[in-house]
Amino acid sequence: MKNQSLDDKTLNELREIAGRYPEKRSGLLPMLHLVQSAQGKVTPEAIEACADILDISAAEVSGVATFYTMYKRHAVGDFHVGVCTNTLCAVMGGDAIFDRLKEHLDIGNDEVAEQRQGDQYSVSLEHVECNAACDYAPVVMVNWEFMDNQTPEGAVQMVEALRAGHDVRSTRGPRLCTWREAERVLAGFPDGRVDEGPAAGPASLAGLALARENGWKAPDVAAVPAVEAPKEGQADA
Amino acid sequence: MPDTLTPVLTDMWDVDRAWTLPAYEAKGGYQSLDKAFAMKQDDVIAAVKDSGLRGRGGAGFPTGMKWSFIPQDNPRPKYLVVNADESEPGTCKDIPLMMGNPHVLVEGVIVSSYAIRANKAFIYIRGEVLHVIRRVQAAVAEAYAAGHLGTNIHGSGYDLDVVVHAGAGAYICGEETALLEGLEGRRGQPRLRPPFPAVAGLYASPTVINNVESIASVPSIITNGAKWFASMGTEKSKGFGIFSLSGHVQKPGQYEAPLGITLRELLDLAGGIREGHDLKFWTPGGSSTPLLTAEHLDVPLDFEGVGAAGSMLGTRALQIFDETVCVVRAVLRWTEFYKHESCGKCTPCREGTWWLVQTLARLEKGQGTEADLDLLLDQCDNILGRSFCALGDGATSPISSSIQYFRDEYLAHLTHGGCPFDPARSTVFGSASTVEVSA
């Protein structure tokens, strides 16, 4: 099942991705996301397929697939858990979360935990670099969705809920989808979950809330000193 | 004198369904299009020049000047590429901006592309932010459906297509020429400059690459005028910017303020350092900007002020660390990051970051000697200014600055035979955690 060969639908979609760009090779990064969605990793067959479509060598595709960390040459879990252990998250608790998850899942970095009897889904674990959510530290990503302000115990409960097949929501996003479904969105095929979750999480709103409280705003255009309305385009050193 | 905080880009974020077109248009969204289309392209460029807008991705290069470098007599197509690869440790402004207000970016892309005479634009978003990518994909689709994108936009005769492109995990792609390599379907390794992208960028064609926040600032400049934008900020650092506070502060988060605000003012807004603790060190603009300390609380956070203090404004990523944090541990972790993300193209960075980790790791375990500090500085000297791109330079910033301010703490690891700090005390969930204290 997991290594089923690329079907015609996928091959057509690969060509469709290449067609979005003035030069088709530009499609390679999203194409590799799509093959991961179809096959769960970047397989030799997928490398050949991309090379064929783009008229480049398999070695050139391999060179790209091995450069970027999101491309996997071995299968990951249905839910791929990334714990930020860059400095700020590490200090705020990321190291403790990563240690706790390794111990709980009995795996090391970049490994898949055993799918126990009764588990609906598998889980894999990796430490990730800064994911641009430092105001929510410590941060855990699951299939590249934000799980903000985590604790070691909370992270353990989360992975157990995922294994059991319960719905888990991103703290600032939708109900989590599987890793393969996520990869499809990254390839440029939307999944209809865009309207789930808030516009912004609480930390994002910290400054705005203060501004609202104090009536702080950007200046009124009419109140800009010296002139009533600036004339664009007129240099005024 | 503008208010303490000046929400412009963040002003949408508390609106119901802020990411949708109706919500954005209800707040006046897409108004800059007709105004821009009524102007000559060069006048749009001049307005952005006059505003004083400088690149918000870290380097601070004047945006309008960058646009004016596009050779309009070059017959090849022109391209706009938005750098949405936000990955600099500590930097977390573009991601919430695209999640909460993706349309302001799309509007900025349209006006900016019009100004440089591009009919195709790309938004290169790092791949590890799934929901942000959904929001930008949807905003682009809505903009097409509403006639803000596509052919003959608003009857102006101007055509523009936008492609949302997801990266695949590589910090180096934040470097603009490495980003172009990624966008061309190659390994993300920087290109030799010159030629600069303005002359030969994407597909060897004239290309402007701008940060998300820079492009998102353009609609307000066109709608409200260059003078309005320039009425905020300081003499050479005009306008507003999003300041991102993270770490040991009471209320971490995003604070959009005129450039030139100080950390002391920002900490007041954020409720101060966490209860019972003191500021020890901070980064003004991500891990590649030299560390500062409590003696720099009143430095104006603009390009000149932070530069004069020996660091860089960078991306206004203020990572705040209190006295429980071991600076050696912090710096080692950043250094491991640079080693991991080094693209391997040039020797000083590829080999140098590896050696930095070896030396630092030994010191952190208390196994080195005092001479290792000089060795580290010597290694930094062989990387800084000798690397192919700024990644190598950035890797040396936390090391040299931490030795400058905290030399004694490095030495304490040697006398203590290891790290004298308890990492559990730095965590948000307190010392009752499962962290093992190494001693």
The yes-or-no verdict on residue A3 having pLDDT over 90 is no
Domain boundary among A130, A151, A178: A178
Domain that holds residue B368: 327-416
Q: Which residues of B touch A37 (CB under 8 A)?
A: none
Q: Report the domain count for chain A.
A: 2
Same-domain pairing of B122 and B61: yes
Q: Which residues of A touch B184 (CB under 8 A)?
A: 23, 25-26
A96/B435 CB distance under 8 A: yes
Q: Report the domain count for chain B.
A: 3
C-beta separation of B316 from B244 below 8 A: yes
pLDDT in tens, B97-106: 999 999 999 9
Residue-level pLDDT at A222: 86
pLDDT in tens, B267-305: 999 999 999 999 999 999 999 999 999 999 999 999 999
Q: Which residues of A touch B174 (CB under 8 A)?
A: none
Sheet containing B78-84: which strands, arranged edge to edge?
Answer: B161-166, B118-125, B78-84, B207-211
Model's pTM, two decimal places?
Answer: 0.96
pLDDT in tens, B250-262: 999 999 999 999 9
CATH label of the domain that carries residue A86: 3.40.30.10
Single out the residue of B83, B36, B115 nearest to residue B201, CA to CA.
B83
Same-domain pairing of A51 and A110: no
**Domain contains A141:** yes
pLDDT in tens, A16-25: 999 999 999 9
CATH label of the domain that carries residue A18: 1.10.10
Same-domain pairing of B318 and B353: no
CATH label of the domain that carries residue B53: 3.40.50.11540
Same-domain pairing of B278 and B179: no
The yes-or-no verdict on residue A188 having pLDDT over 50 is yes
Residue-averaged pLDDT of chain B: 96
Same-domain pairing of B25 and B114: yes
Per DSSP, A93 falls in state I
The yes-or-no verdict on residue A1 having pLDDT over 50 is no
% of chain B with per-residue pLDDT over 90 = 97
Same-domain pairing of B170 and B119: yes
Same-domain pairing of A120 and A147: yes
Scanning B154-311, the segments in alpha helix (DSSP H) are 176-183, 197-200, 212-224, 226-230, 263-269, 303-308
Same-domain pairing of B318 and B340: no
Same-domain pairing of B407 and B311: no
Domain that holds residue A117: 79-178
User: Span A41-65, mean pLDDT?
Assistant: 98
Q: Does B183 touch chain A (CB under 8 A)?
A: yes
Same-domain pairing of A117 and A96: yes
Q: Which of residues 344-383 of B touch A (CB under 8 A)?
A: none
Same-domain pairing of A92 and A41: no
Q: Does B131 touch chain A (CB under 8 A)?
A: yes
User: Span A101-124, mean pLDDT?
Assistant: 98
Give the annotated binding-site residues of A.
84, 89, 130, 134
- Other CB atoms within 10 A of residue A232 CB: 23
Same-domain pairing of B196 and B280: no
**Domain contains B432:** no
C-beta separation of B87 from A129 below 8 A: yes
Residue-level pLDDT at B430: 78
A233/B101 CB distance under 8 A: no
- Please tell me which of the candidates B77, B170, B433 has its beta carbon nearest to residue A96: B433
Residue-level pLDDT at B431: 55
pLDDT in tens, B222-269: 999 999 999 999 999 999 999 999 999 999 999 999 999 999 999 999
- Please tell me which of the candidates B50, B247, B254 has its beta carbon nearest to residue A206: B254
User: Span B102-111, mean pLDDT?
Assistant: 98
Same-domain pairing of B248 and B301: yes
- Other CB atoms within 10 A of residue A195 CB: 12
ipTM higher than the 0.90 cut: yes
Same-domain pairing of B86 and B183: yes
Q: Which amino acid is at B272?
A: G
A210/B255 CB distance under 8 A: yes
Same-domain pairing of B267 and B354: no
CATH label of the domain that carries residue B346: 1.20.1440.230
pLDDT in tens, B177-228: 999 999 999 999 999 999 999 999 999 999 999 999 999 999 999 999 999 9
The CB-side HSE value for A194 (13 A sphere, CA atoms) comes to 28
pLDDT in tens, B68-79: 999 999 999 999
Domain boundary among B230, B255, B272: B230
State the DSSP string of B24-46.
HHHTTTTTHHHHHHTS-HHHHHH
